[in-house]
């Protein structure tokens, strides 16, 4: 079965006064219809821009330079704005990070959901409102009929996020993109939200593209993971494989910095150095300056994403080719 | 919300009271007074002076004068004009002038909104591109051009150049001649309207740019909502609060009467009445106009506050949610 | 099509107004239309057309019986009484005929102090007024009052029907009833007053048939007023500024006239403070008196009046050589034509001032009203004085603030003007220099002024004696000589610096037609002179 989403050679740049920001520099990945794909990276790694590129929400001074984004076989980059509007919210939905600012403060929660339904469905006004209440119930909001008449500022953080999710799934999208959906929430709520999403995914049969900087979140939820650094994908693998056999030095750094749930809290290690300036990227491998394996060649040649074992791809000169030594260093 | 409005209303009344006290005292401190205005130097006579002072109640101690005046106002009696329109009740004069000012204000505000809204929206949406630069230049020009210059320019073009009677000002009541009424108010309304349009459009642009950057705009786009709906419900609606403040301010200023424009175009409005009253030292008139003008401002501010509540549910329901 | 015609008619109506409507533009708005209670100039324009005067005077002060309610009059031998012969057949706007009783009523109401009429004093020393017969009135004075007619041109600019005022109040302020060629219709505050022709007016052909109504339109801004004249929105205006007059000279459709004016521009000097006067403790000190006189004489010769006339009034003013019109028989021939601007003399006097202990350099303030041309005059004088090293500071003040300041000691020089509503030299000599308790007069004597206001200068007692004699001298020739003497004293002691008399500048549209020579005698706002309104 061909994947739901296939991204090929996506290049997105921002033309600012200080220079050209290479936000996404040639991404290749895919997502199956029932899959949950996690995208992990620090801020500035290009994960959100990737998502916005898929949604075609990149605006001046940003531009999608090249590539193909195949959704159900059709290249989204070739579609007209009008066609995209029909897709957004209906076929592909996105849930953003800060729920308070993501909701219109002057409309009730129910009205905002109903509004989406209005433009994507033919339901009558009353049916729309009923559906909105149903959706609020489906995302686990108690007293949904009453809550639908509330304004966003009258709801708690967790409830707002649920409402946003309700809005996103209101038209049964095939692909749900979540950009750091729980960063602003505390751990227990976070767990509830993910349980909800998992539940919805199973019931509605959606593909989920989860963006996060938190590897532990990915572990509990996703089937596959992509690690991004400075605009490039540096590693891609099944979640289990990644945890057992992280290959890219960056990935290994990330894993080392997760506090373990059990056992002694070993020294947490952070990765030395800083994320590079996307306008002035270092020559060669983007991660080079922070990598303790880097050598001369790393500073000259940009590594390509290469499949090292089935389903496991890495972009590292030290790890890449199967002929080169195993990366235990 | 109710408590909020009550608090604002109370402040308003307090402001009115203080304003009345201030203008009352200031007028009696300023050199020269109505008696000087009414008696010419040539025929100055201590007996006549004393007579007039007594008639005008100016020989009473200050606080008694104030008490008497305040008492009258609370009964709806604004006094009688003693210099400008000797013998005429101030209330009647004020009402007539206020009517004219209100009509001019309405027309000016309409023009201002008609011009500033499209301008501000276009400016924000086409930010930093040609339409934006042009409109901002125009707005800057509008704000920098003094009213009297624009007014005189228009009078020269329409009144003298094109020989249009309505081009040189004057006021025709609506009942007498609706078309004439409109024509005569048109040029002064343009002068005032463009001035306020410049301010409103600048605020609208800034506010919209801020709103455009808000998260829920992105969400709305991500939900595939059409641009028109997005513009109105997400961008404009949330951008409106500071704009409403500016509009309210403009409305208040217009209702206080734009003196220069009124004088230039011969419109018998509130502003020119105030100025004439001050020059002539017609105390009852000036006191009444100031109190009414402050009252209008207070009322306009209250309306603006109410509008906030209507626009932004966070104000209406208070607090930051639970 | 009908709509177009209707729109056109409305449009034409709006532009042109109803056919036969005469529109007059005036500066300011009247305060009071009762001829015994008015105090402002704007009211005069209306009053003089709604009412008639007993005796109408021309702009140069000569009586015009053909325009007056009195056909004739005569003084008795020693000018202690005057007999007025009224014109029969004059009707008020309410239909009644004017008789001597009405005239008596007018006098008595004004004379009654309970009515607080501002013009009471202008009636003069009236002892009694009696109606000898329905058309004859005799007015008796307590002492000779030969200038009665000149004074009454101010005090009695209108005759009202007997009984039309109540005690202390007057409905005529807003609802005037007179005998004039136009009667009152309506007053729209802030906008205009409408009058309509009075068909029973006593003058032949006045008001003209082609005037159906007159609208006095108020202007607060000069530029708009002139624009309205150019656009045809008004046919007449009260006056135009010298600059506008020049600008209007070549405009087709606009007529202009320049007639002798009554606006007397002068520089007042504070005689009770330094540098132009002496202080309380210097009374009788000859050095201080001489020093102050030197400063004043310096000013007299340093100021270049011709330059002021040309720069600020575009030449449209008459330079004055003393306190009265230079061409009048009442002006001393000894003063006429003397040299006014003499830099050498000015320097001499300035030197003398310094020698006598005057502060070096000479510094003082000139206050001036901030509307009109006063600040311009002051600034020009400031520039003229700079050449002598004298530093004058110009302080613009709002009108009433200026008047209030003049009553204090806190000023040195002031640019002022005075409109001679009463064209009588003795009146001016009285008000300007004699017993009126006001600023900087040569002689002050009232209990409510501070002690600084006292007789400070030699000759003032003689001046007062001369005035007393002149005011009761029935023989005009003798009176004249006394007046000349007083004028010479004032000029020698430089009590005030007279600059010039500004011409009255009139402008009107050519559609408006006046009787032959009437504009020169009455100006353009005496609508008795109006004989026709041409087509727009």
Q: How far is C201 from chain B (nearest CA, A)?
A: 28
Predicted confidence band of residue C443 (pLDDT cuts 50, 70, 90) = very low
CB C390 within 8 A of CB C382: no
Regarding whether B268 and B125 lie in a shared domain, the answer is: yes
Q: Do chains A and C touch (3 or more CB pairs under 8 A)?
A: no
Q: Give residue-wise pLDDT tens across range B128-171.
A: 889 899 998 988 888 888 888 999 899 888 888 887 778 788 88
Does a structural domain hold residue B207?
Answer: yes
Regarding whether B111 and B70 lie in a shared domain, the answer is: no
Beta bridge partners of C97: C91
Does a structural domain hold residue B30?
Answer: yes
Regarding whether B187 and B105 lie in a shared domain, the answer is: yes
**Domain membership of residue B25 as a residue range:** 2-74
Q: CB of C219 within 8 Å of any CB in chain B?
A: yes
* Whole-number Å distance between alpha carbons of A305 and C222: 84
pLDDT of residue B231: 86
Q: How far is B187 from chain C (nearest CA, A)?
A: 13
> How many degrees, rounded to 5, is the angle at CA A57 between CA A52 and CA A58?
85
Domain at A320, CATH number: 3.40.50.300
Contact C37 B86 (CB under 8 A): yes
| Percent of the residues in chain C that have a pLDDT greater than 70, as a whole number | 91
Q: Identify the domain boundary among A129, A151, A170.
A: A170
**Tokens 């400031």, residue located:** C382
* Whole-number Å distance between alpha carbons of B196 and B119: 13
Does a structural domain hold residue A323?
Answer: yes
Q: Which two tokens stand for residue A84?
A: 């995209």
DSSP C504-518: EEEEEETTEEE-TTH
Does a structural domain hold residue A214?
Answer: yes
Regarding whether B235 and B151 lie in a shared domain, the answer is: yes
Q: CB of B320 within 8 Å of any CB in chain A?
A: yes
Regarding whether B70 and B94 lie in a shared domain, the answer is: no
Nearest to B214 by CA among A181, A106, A169, A56: A106
Does a structural domain hold residue A243?
Answer: yes
Dihedrals φ, ψ of A236, to 5°?
Answer: -145, 130
Regarding whether A83 and A54 lie in a shared domain, the answer is: yes
* Whole-number Å distance between alpha carbons of A97 and A193: 13
Packing angle between helix B237-256 and helix B283-311, nearest 10 degrees? 170
Regarding whether A215 and A125 lie in a shared domain, the answer is: no
- The total of other beta-carbon atoms located within 10 Å of residue C489's CB is 19
Q: Which two tokens stand for residue C141?
A: 């004075």
Regarding whether A25 and A8 lie in a shared domain, the answer is: yes
* Whole-number Å distance between alpha carbons of C497 and C484: 17
Question: Which residue from B225, B312, B322 is facing A106, i.e. has the nearest CB?
Answer: B312
Contact B43 C121 (CB under 8 A): yes
Regarding whether B140 and B62 lie in a shared domain, the answer is: no
Q: CB of B46 within 8 Å of any CB in chain A?
A: no
Q: Torsion angle of alpha carbons A30, A31, A32, A34, nearest 10°?
A: 170
Regarding whether B154 and B58 lie in a shared domain, the answer is: no
Query: How buried is C203 (Cβ within 10 angstroms: 0-12 exposed, 13-18 middle, 19+ buried)?
Result: middle
- Residue C162 CB partners (closer than 8 Å, separation 6+): C101, C102, C104, C105, C106
Chain C residues with CB inside 8 Å of B45's CB? 120-121
- b/e string for A231-267 if b means 16 or more Cβ within 10 A? bbbbbbbebebbbeebbbbbbbbbeeeeeeeeeeeee
For chain C, first and last CA: distance in Å?
26
Contact B272 C190 (CB under 8 A): yes
Contact B48 C116 (CB under 8 A): yes
Nearest to A105 by CA among B125, B132, B234: B234
* Whole-number Å distance between alpha carbons of C421 and C156: 12
pLDDT of residue B61: 87
Does a structural domain hold residue B322?
Answer: no
Question: Which residue from A57, A86, A103 is facing B222, i.e. has the nearest CB?
Answer: A57
Nearest to A221 by CA among A241, A194, A187, A254: A194
* Whole-number Å distance between alpha carbons of B261 and B264: 5
Predicted confidence band of residue B48 (pLDDT cuts 50, 70, 90) = confident
Regarding whether B109 and B69 lie in a shared domain, the answer is: no
Omega into C275 within 30° of 0, i.e. cis?
yes
**Domain membership of residue A242 as a residue range:** 1-91+174-181+198-282+297-329
Q: Torsion angle of alpha carbons A160, A163, A168, A172, nearest 10°?
A: 160
Give, as one character, the DSSP assignment of residue A155: S
Does a structural domain hold residue A192?
Answer: no
Whole-complex ipTM = 0.84
pLDDT of residue A158: 86
* Whole-number Å distance between alpha carbons of C407 and C437: 9
Regarding whether A321 and A305 lie in a shared domain, the answer is: yes
Regarding whether B142 and B191 lie in a shared domain, the answer is: yes
Nearest to C304 by CA among C340, C265, C335: C340
Give yes or no for residue C240 having a pLDDT over 50: yes
- Side-chain half-sphere of C388: how many Cα atoms within 13 Å? 30
Regarding whether A212 and A77 lie in a shared domain, the answer is: yes
Q: Identify the domain boundary among B74, B98, B116.
A: B74
Does a structural domain hold residue A287?
Answer: no
Give yes or no for residue B250 having a pLDDT over 50: yes
Does a structural domain hold residue A61?
Answer: yes
Does a structural domain hold residue B316?
Answer: no
* Whole-number Å distance between alpha carbons of A48 and B53: 81
Contact B313 A153 (CB under 8 A): yes
pLDDT of residue C415: 95
Edge-to-edge order in the sheet of strand A232-238: A92-95, A175-179, A207-212, A36-40, A224-229, A232-238, A312-314, A306-309
Nearest to A153 by CA among A193, A189, A98, A103: A103
* Whole-number Å distance between alpha carbons of A21 and A12: 9
Predicted confidence band of residue C104 (pLDDT cuts 50, 70, 90) = very high
> How many degrees, rounded to 5, is the angle at CA C145 between CA C142 and CA C150?
140
Q: Which two tokens stand for residue C148?
A: 């009665």
**Tokens 């100055």, residue located:** B44
Domain at B227, CATH number: 1.10.3720.10
Contact B229 A152 (CB under 8 A): no
Give yes or no for residue C28 having a pLDDT over 60: yes
Regarding whether A228 and A307 lie in a shared domain, the answer is: yes
Regarding whether A309 and A225 lie in a shared domain, the answer is: yes
For chain B, first and last CA: distance in Å?
17
Question: Which residue from A93, A120, A153 is facing B321, i.e. has the nearest CB?
Answer: A153
For chain A, first and last CA: distance in Å?
38
Does a structural domain hold residue A42?
Answer: yes
CB A110 within 8 A of CB A131: no
Q: How many CB pairs under 8 A join A and B?
A: 90
pLDDT of residue A113: 94
Regarding whether B49 and B113 lie in a shared domain, the answer is: no
Of A163-172, B238-247, C443-452, C506-515, the least confident: C443-452
pLDDT of residue C38: 85
Q: Nearest residue on chain B to C13, judged by CA atoms?
A: B180
Predicted confidence band of residue C225 (pLDDT cuts 50, 70, 90) = very high
Regarding whether A325 and A247 lie in a shared domain, the answer is: yes
Regarding whether A153 and A243 lie in a shared domain, the answer is: no
- Quote the number of domains for chain B: 2
- Side-chain half-sphere of C243: how many Cα atoms within 13 Å? 6
Nearest to C528 by CA among C203, C256, C257: C203
Query: Which sign does the torsion angle of CA A232, A234, A238, A239 carry?
Result: negative
Contact C116 B266 (CB under 8 A): no
Chain A residues with CB inside 8 Å of B234's CB? 104
Of A28-37, B239-248, B261-270, C440-449, the least confident: C440-449
Beta bridge partners of C129: C139
Contact B85 C219 (CB under 8 A): no
pLDDT of residue C536: 47
Residue A220 C-alpha from the chain's centroid? 15
- Residue A324 CB partners (closer than 8 Å, separation 6+): A318
3-state SS assignment for residue C213: strand
Q: Nearest residue on chain C to B268, judged by CA atoms?
A: C190
Chain B residues with CB inside 8 Å of C220's CB? 263, 266, 272, 276
What is the β-pairing status of strands C192-197 and C182-188? Answer: antiparallel
Contact C14 B281 (CB under 8 A): no
Does a structural domain hold residue B232?
Answer: yes
Give yes or no for residue B28 having a pLDDT over 90: no
Q: Name all chains with 3 or more CB-CB pairs below 8 Å to chain B.
A: A, C
Regarding whether A224 and A135 lie in a shared domain, the answer is: no
- pLDDT tens for chain A, residues 1 to 329: 578 889 999 999 999 888 888 888 888 888 988 889 999 988 878 889 999 999 999 888 889 999 999 998 899 999 999 999 999 989 999 998 888 888 999 999 999 999 999 999 999 999 999 999 999 998 889 999 999 999 999 998 888 999 999 999 999 999 999 998 887 788 888 888 888 888 888 888 889 999 988 788 888 888 999 999 888 898 999 988 888 888 888 888 888 766 666 655 556 667 777 778 888 888 888 888 888 777 788 888 888 888 888 888 998 887 755 444 444 43
Give yes or no for residue C366 having a pLDDT over 90: yes
Nearest to C263 by CA among C297, C313, C225: C313
3-state SS assignment for residue C455: coil
> How many degrees, rounded to 5, is the angle at CA C487 between CA C484 and CA C492?
125
pTM of the model: 0.80
What average pLDDT is seen over chain C? 88
Predicted confidence band of residue C447 (pLDDT cuts 50, 70, 90) = very low
| Percent of the residues in chain C that have a pLDDT greater than 90, as a whole number | 57
Contact B222 A94 (CB under 8 A): yes
Regarding whether A317 and A245 lie in a shared domain, the answer is: yes
- Quote the number of domains for chain A: 2
- The total of other beta-carbon atoms located within 10 Å of residue A186's CB is 10
Does a structural domain hold residue A191?
Answer: no
Regarding whether B183 and B113 lie in a shared domain, the answer is: yes
Regarding whether B170 and B277 lie in a shared domain, the answer is: yes
Regarding whether A202 and A301 lie in a shared domain, the answer is: yes
């Amino acid at each position: 079965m061909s994947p739901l989403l296939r991204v090929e050679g996506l290049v997105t740049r921002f033309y600012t006064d200080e220079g050209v920001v290479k936000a996404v520099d040639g991404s290749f990945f895919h997502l199956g219809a029932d899959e949950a794909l996690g995208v992990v990276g620090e801020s500035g790694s290009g994960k959100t821009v990737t998502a916005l590129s898929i949604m075609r929400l990149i605006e001046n001074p940003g531009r999608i330079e090249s590539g193909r984004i195949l959704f159900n076989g059709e290249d989204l980059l070739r579609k007209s704005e009008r066609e995209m509007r029909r897709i957004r919210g209906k076929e592909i939905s996105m849930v953003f990070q800060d729920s308070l600012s993501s909701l219109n403060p002057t409309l009730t929660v129910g009205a905002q959901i109903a509004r989406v339904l209005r433009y994507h469905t033919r339901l009558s006004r009353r049916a729309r409102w009923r559906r909105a209440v149903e959706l609020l119930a489906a995302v686990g909001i108690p007293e949904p009929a009453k809550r639908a008449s509330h304004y966003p500022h009258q709801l708690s953080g967790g409830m707002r996020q649920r409402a946003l999710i309700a809005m996103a799934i209101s038209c049964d999208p095939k692909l749900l993109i979540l950009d750091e959906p729980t960063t602003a929430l505390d751990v227990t709520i976070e767990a509830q939200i993910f349980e909800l999403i998992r539940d919805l995914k199973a019931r509605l049969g959606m593909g989920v593209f989860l963006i996060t900087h938190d590897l532990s979140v990915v572990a509990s939820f996703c089937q596959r993971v992509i690690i991004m650094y400075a605009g490039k994908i540096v590693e891609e693998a099944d979640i289990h494989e990644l945890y057992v056999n992280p290959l890219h030095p960056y990935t290994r750094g990330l894993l080392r910095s997760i506090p373990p749930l059990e056992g002694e809290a070993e020294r947490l290690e952070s990765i030395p150095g800083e994320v590079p300036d996307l306008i002035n990227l270092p020559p060669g491998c983007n991660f080079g300056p922070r990598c303790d394996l880097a050598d001369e060649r790393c500073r000259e040649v940009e590594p390509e994403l290469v499949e090292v074992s089935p389903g496991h791809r890495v972009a590292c000169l030290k790890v890449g080719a199967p002929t080169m030594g195993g990366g235990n260093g | 919300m109710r408590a909020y409005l009550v608090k604002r209303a109370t402040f308003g009344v307090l402001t009115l009271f203080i304003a009345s006290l201030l203008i009352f005292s200031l007028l009696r401190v300023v050199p020269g007074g109505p008696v000087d205005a009414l008696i010419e130097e040539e025929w100055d006579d201590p007996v006549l002076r004393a007579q007039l002072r007594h008639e005008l109640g100016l020989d009473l101690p200050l606080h008694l004068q104030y008490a008497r005046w305040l008492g009258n106002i609370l009964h709806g009696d604004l006094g009688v004009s003693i210099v400008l329109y000797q013998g005429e009740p101030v209330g009647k004069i004020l009402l007539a002038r206020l009517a004219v000012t209100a009509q001019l204000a309405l027309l000016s505000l309409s023009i201002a909104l008609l011009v500033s809204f499209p301008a501000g929206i276009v400016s924000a949406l086409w930010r930093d591109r040609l339409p934006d630069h042009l409109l901002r230049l125009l707005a800057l020009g509008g704000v920098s051009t003094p009213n009297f210059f624009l007014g005189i320019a228009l009078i020269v073009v329409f009144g003298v150049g094109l020989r249009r009677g309505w081009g040189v000002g004057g006021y025709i009541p609506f009942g007498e001649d609706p078309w004439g009424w409109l024509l005569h108010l048109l040029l002064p309304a343009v002068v005032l309207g463009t001035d306020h349009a410049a301010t409103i459009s600048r605020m609208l642009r800034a506010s919209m740019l801020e709103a455009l950057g808000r998260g829920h705009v992105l969400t709305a786009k991500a939900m595939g909502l059409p641009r028109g709906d997005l513009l109105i419900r997400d961008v404009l609606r949330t951008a409106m609060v500071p704009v409403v403040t500016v509009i309210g301010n403009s409305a208040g200023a217009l209702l206080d009467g734009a003196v220069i424009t009124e004088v230039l175009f011969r419109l018998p409005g509130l502003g020119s009445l105030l100025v004439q009253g001050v020059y002539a030292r017609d105390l009852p008139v000036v006191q009444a106009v100031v109190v009414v003008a402050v009252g209008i401002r207070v009322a306009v501010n209250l309306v603006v506050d109410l509008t906030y509540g209507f626009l932004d549910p966070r104000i209406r329901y208070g607090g930051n949610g639970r | 099509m009908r709509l177009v015609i209707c729109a056109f008619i409305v449009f034409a109506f709006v532009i042109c107004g109803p056919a036969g409507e005469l529109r007059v533009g005036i500066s300011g708005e009247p305060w009071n239309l009762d001829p015994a209670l008015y105090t402002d100039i704007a009211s005069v324009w209306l009053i003089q057309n709604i009412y008639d005067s007993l005796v109408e005077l021309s702009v140069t002060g000569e009586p015009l019986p053909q325009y007056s309610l009195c056909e004739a009059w005569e003084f008795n031998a020693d000018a202690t009484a005057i007999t007025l012969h009224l014109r029969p057949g004059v009707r008020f706007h309410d239909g009644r005929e004017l008789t001597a009783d009405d005239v008596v009523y007018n006098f008595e109401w004004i004379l009654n102090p309970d009515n607080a009429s501002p013009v009471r004093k202008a009636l003069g020393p009236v002892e009694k007024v009696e109606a000898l017969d329905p058309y004859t009135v005799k007015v008796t004075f307590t002492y000779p009052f030969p200038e009665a007619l000149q004074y009454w041109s101010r005090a009695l600019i209108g005759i009202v029907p007997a009984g039309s005022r109540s005690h202390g109040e007057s409905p005529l302020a807003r609802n005037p009833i007179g005998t004039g060629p136009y009667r009152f219709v309506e007053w729209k505050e802030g906008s205009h007053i409408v009058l309509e022709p009075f068909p029973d007016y006593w003058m032949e052909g006045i008001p003209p048939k082609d005037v159906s109504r007159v609208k006095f339109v108020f202007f607060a801004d000069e530029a708009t007023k002139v624009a309205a004249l150019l656009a045809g929105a008004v046919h007449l205006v009260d006056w135009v500024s010298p600059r506008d007059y020049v600008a209007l000279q070549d405009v087709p459709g606009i007529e202009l006239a320049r007639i002798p004016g009554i606006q007397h521009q002068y520089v007042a000097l504070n005689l009770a403070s330094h540098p132009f006067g002496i202080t309380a403790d210097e009374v009788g000190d000859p050095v201080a008196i001489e020093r102050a006189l030197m400063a004043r004489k310096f000013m007299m010769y340093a100021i270049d009046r011709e330059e002021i006339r040309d720069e600020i009034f575009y030449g449209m003013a008459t330079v004055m050589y003393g306190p009265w019109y230079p061409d009048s028989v009442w002006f001393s021939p000894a003063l006429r034509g003397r040299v006014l601007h003499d830099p050498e003399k000015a320097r001499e006097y300035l030197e003398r001032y310094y020698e006598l202990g005057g502060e070096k350099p000479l510094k003082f303030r000139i206050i001036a009203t901030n509307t009109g041309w006063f600040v311009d005059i002051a600034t020009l004088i400031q520039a003229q004085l700079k050449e002598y090293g004298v530093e004058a500071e110009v302080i613009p003040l709002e009108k009433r603030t200026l008047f209030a300041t003049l009553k204090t000691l806190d000023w040195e020089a002031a640019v002022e003007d005075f409109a001679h509503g009463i064209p009588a030299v003795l009146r001016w000599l009285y008000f300007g220099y004699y017993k009126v308790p006001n600023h900087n007069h040569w002689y002050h004597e009232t209990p409510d002024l501070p002690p600084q206001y006292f007789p400070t200068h030699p000759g003032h007692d003689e001046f007062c004696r001369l005035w007393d004699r002149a005011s009761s001298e029935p023989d005009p020739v003798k009176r004249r000589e006394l007046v000349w003497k007083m004028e010479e004293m004032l000029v020698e002691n430089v009590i005030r610096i007279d600059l010039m008399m500004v011409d009255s500048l009139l402008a009107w549209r050519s559609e408006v037609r006046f009787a032959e020579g009437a504009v020169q005698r009455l100006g353009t706002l005496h609508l008795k002179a109006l004989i026709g309104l041409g087509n727009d």
